[in-house]
Amino acid sequence: MKFNLIRFVVLAMVALVLGSVTYAQTVNVHAQVPFSFVLGDKVYPAGEYAIQSLVDYSYSLRVSNRKAKVTSLAESYPVSFVNEPRQTALIFTRIGNTYFLYQVRTEDSSVGRQFRPGRIQTQMAMNTTTSGTVVVAANLVH
């Protein structure tokens, strides 16, 4: 009887955690990125970017820079945070002097979006020891 109760509690906790991670909120953020960056295997120039859900509650995000006339789609997956971010931000991983878009966090939401590392990022990470994280403030558009 005690074993069944423990199993039930563990299964309920797993269901709650996985249920919160699978929820994908709509994303619509704008940010001024002061450096060029890589997303997947594509290089984006510095500039003003809009990152938006392609369709409500979709994992596909449109990344666009109107001035540079750059628009592409990127697949993301939901990631949950223990503490909700206090501000909307783009999170970049820096390897050497190259920046890679890693996450999109929106204020007051415990679920954000994360991008899988591309081939370039994986190769650089294996060959470089200098890395870090850079946060770029963004605006949540309602």
pLDDT tens digits for 10-45? Answer: 444 544 444 444 445 688 999 999 999 999 989 999
Residue 14: predicted pLDDT: 46
Split into its structural domains, the chain has a count of 1
Residue 12 domain flag: no
Instruction: Give 55's pLDDT tier (boundaries 50, 70, 90).
Output: confident
State how far the alpha carbon of 68 is from the alpha carbons of 30, 49, 95, in Å. Answer: 15, 10, 24
Retrieve residue 104's tokens: 């999109």
Residue 15 belongs to a domain: no
Residue 18 lies in a domain: no
Range of the domain at 42: 24-140
* 11 within some domain: no
Residue scoring higher pLDDT (6 or 101): 101
2 belongs to a structural domain: no
Q: pLDDT tens, 79-117?
A: 998 888 889 999 999 999 999 999 999 987 888 999 999
pLDDT of residue 77: 92
